[in-house]
Structure 1
Amino acid sequence: MASLREIKGRITATKKTSQITSAMHMVSNSKLRRAEENSKKFQPYVNKLQETVFAVASGDREASHPMLQKREVKRTGYIVITADSGLAGPYNSNVLKKITSQIEEKHNNDPSKYSLFVIGNMGLELLKIRGYEVTNSRVGLADQPHFSSIKSISEEAVDAFANESVDELYIIYNKFNSVLDQEVTQRKVLPLSHSDLSSDTQSSMQSLYEFEPDKETILATILPQYAESIIYGAILDSKASEHAMRMTAMKAATDNAKELVGDLTLQYNRARQAAITQEITEIVGGAAAQEK
C-alpha cells in the first residue's frame, strides 16, 4: 500500500492538473463562440459568390473554363486541415486516419499519384514521420484566422489544378455541426460542376445579371476566388470543430481528475485511519505491558 505522503502527493498533483484542464476548458469555450460566429458570418459571402458563379457559368449559353471541366485523373491533390497542437480528443487522428486510408486505398501509397497540402503542425509532423511526401504546408494559424494567412497555400493548391499538376482537388477537415457533433468530411473543391453550383434560388436570380466583357473573362477571375473561399470556409469550420473537441476533451479530463481526487481522498482517509488505529493499538499494548 502506498504511504500517506505518496497518496497526498498524488492528490495535490491531480488537483493541479484539474485546475489546468478546467482553465483550458473555459478558454476553448470562449474561442469556440468566436470561431462559430466567424464561420456563420462568412457563409453568406460564400453563398453569394456561389450564386454569382452559377449565374455566369450557366444560362442560355453555358460558359467554359478549365475549372469546370473534368479530365482524366492522374494525380489528386488533398488539402488536409489539422491543428497545431494536441489535447483536442480525436480531432487530429480522425483527419489523419481519413487521408492515410484514402492514399492507401485509392493511390496504393504511390507518391506520384497524390499531392498533400497540409495545414497544421500535428498533421505535418505525423505525415512526415510516416513517410508521406508533403507538397506544401502552413503552420501557426491563429485561432481566428484571416484569409490572408492561408491565401498562399490555397492559391498554390488552386494553381496546381489550373496548371494540371493535379487533376482533382479535395479538402479533408472536421465539419462543425454542433458542440457535440463534428464529423470528418472530404469535399471536392475542383473541378467544379454546374450541378455543384445550381439550386432553385440561384436559378431564379439569373435574369438579374448582365455580363461585361464576357462570361469566360469573368469566370477566369471569380472561379479561383470561389475555390479559395471554399478552402477558407472549411478552415473556419475546422477551427470551430477544434475548439469544440478540445473543450469536450478538457471537460472530460477535469471530471476524471475530480473523480480520481475523490478516490485518492478515500484511500488516504482509510490509510490514515489504519495508521491511527495501529498507533492506538501500540499505545494500549504498551500500557498493558507496564501494568503487568
Structure 2
Amino acid sequence: MAESINDVKHRIASTKNTRQITTAMQMVSTSKLSQIQKHSVAYEEYVSRVKAVVMHLAQSHLLDSLNSSSNANSQKNGKTAYLVVTSDRGMVGSYNSNVIRETNNFIKEHTPNEDDYIILAVGSNGADFYKKRGANVAYEYNDVSDVPTFKEIQEIVKTVTSMYDDGVFSKLYVCYTHFVNRVSSTFRAEKMLPMDSEAFKEDASNDIKPAEINAEYDIEPDESAVLDVVLPQYAESLVFGAILDAKTAEHSSSSSAMKSASDNANDLISSLELRYNRARQAAITTEITEIVGGQEALKH
C-alpha cells in the first residue's frame, strides 16, 4: 500500500510540473497573439486599399490584357501551385491537421491528378507532410517569425513570382487558416496568380463589393507603368496578409491547446489527489486495525 501511495504522489508532482509548463506556454502564446493582432489591425487597412485598386483594374480588364500579353510563357506548363501555410512547431492543437486536411480536399476538387500540381510549403509541418507522401514540394520556407516582417515575406513572393514567370506553374492558390476570433478559425484558399478578373470572382473572402467600385480610370503615364507598381504590391500584400493571418490563428490555437492541457492537468491532479487521500486513509485504517488487533492479542 505504501508503494502505491508513493506512486500516486509521484504522479501528482509530475502532473503539477507539466501544468506549470503548459500554463507558461499558454501565457507566451497569448502574449504573441496580442502582439500580432496589433500588427494585423494596422495592416488590414493597407490591404483593403490595395485590393480596391487592383479590383478596379480587374473590372477595367487591364489585368486580363496584361496576362494575355506578358504571361504567355507561364501558361505553357499548365500546373497549379498550392502555397500551404502551416507552423514550424507542434503543440498548436488541430491547427496544422485542419489546414492540411482542407488543402487536400481543395486540391482533390481542383486538381485530382497528382501530376497537375506542385506544393509550395511555408512551415515545416506542411513540408514534411507532403514530402513523406511523395508530393512534388517545389519550394520550402521554414522558421517564419512569430510576428512576421514584411521583409521576410518579400523573399517568398520574389521566389514564387519568379517560378511563375519561368513557367514552373500557371496558377497559384494560397491556402491558410484565417483567424476569426480567439475561439474560431476558418480555412481559406485564395487565388494569387494569374492576377485577372477571374481571381476576384473566386476570392470569397473579399470584403469589397463590386457595386462599391467605380471601374473607370484615367491612367498616367500609361497602363503598364501603373501595373508595374501596383501588381507587385498586391502580390506581396496578399501573401504577407495570409501568413500574418495564419500566424495569428496559430498563436490562438496554441493558446487554446495549452489552456486545454492545463485544464486537463487540473482535472487529473484532482483525481490523483482523491486517490492519494483514499489510499492514505486506507493505510491508516489498516495500521489502526493491526494495532488494535495486537492489543487484543496481548490481553489473552
> Is the Cα contact below 8 Å between 1:115 and 1:135 reproduced in 2?
yes
The DSSP-based 3-state class of the residue aligned with 2:36 is helix
- Matched residue type, 2:67: P
CA distance in 2, matches of 1:127, 1:93: 12
Q: Cα distance 1:109–1:263, how it changes in 2: closer, same or farther (>3 A)?
A: farther
Q: Quote the offset at 1:39 in angstroms.
A: 1.4
Picking from 85, 89, 104, the partner of 1:81 is 85
2:251 is matched by which residue type in structure 1?
Answer: H
Give the alignment partner of residue 293 of structure 2, picking from 263, 285, 290.
Answer: 285
**CA positional deviation for 1:104:** 4.6
Q: Which runs of 5+ in 2 are unaligned?
A: 201-207
Alignment of 1:43-122 (within 5 A): 43-56=44-57, 58-59=59-60, 62=62, 64-66=65-67, 74-104=78-108, 106-108=110-112, 110=114, 112-122=115-125
Q: 2:163 aligns with which of 160, 163, 170?
A: 160
% identical equivalent positions: 37
The whole-number CA distance in structure 1 between the counterparts of 2:153 and 2:141 is 7
Name the SS for the 1:145 alignment partner.
coil
* Equivalent position amino acid for 1:146 in 2: T
Q: Deviation per CA, 1:42-77: give whole Å up to 9, x if none.
A: 111112222333445555x74621189896882101
Q: Secondary structure at the match of 1:96?
A: helix
TM-score (norm 2): 0.87
Is the CA contact (8 Å cut-off) linking 2:77 and 2:168 kept in structure 1?
no
CA gap 1:67/1:265 in 2 versus in 1, 3 angstroms: farther
The farther-off stretch of 280-289 and 162-171 is 162-171
Asked whether 1:254 is paired with 2:262, we answer yes
Whether the 8 Å CA contact 2:173–2:190 is kept in 1: the answer is yes
Match for residue 283 of structure 2? 275
1-side partners of 2:6 and 2:68: how far apart? 68
Q: Tell me the residue number matched to 1:138.
A: 141
Give the conservation status (yes or no) of the 8 Å contact 1:91–1:242. yes
Q: How far does the alpha carbon of each residue in 1:192-249 deviate from its partner, in whole angstroms, 9 at most, with x for none? A: 3336287344318x56xx5332112321332132122101100010011001111111
User: Equivalents in 2 of 1:290, 1:67: separation in Å?
Assistant: 107
CA contact (8 A) 2:153 2:236 kept: no
Q: Which residue of 1 aligns with 2:32?
A: 31
Alpha-carbon offset, residue 34 of structure 1 = 1.4
Deviations 1:127-184 (A, max 9, x none): 2222222111111111101111122222222233333321211011000111111011
Give the TM-score, by structure 1 length: 0.89
Question: Counterpart of 2:204?
Answer: none
Which stretch of the first structure deviates more once superposed, 68-77 or 190-199?
68-77
SS at match of 1:3: helix
Amino acid at match of 1:38: H
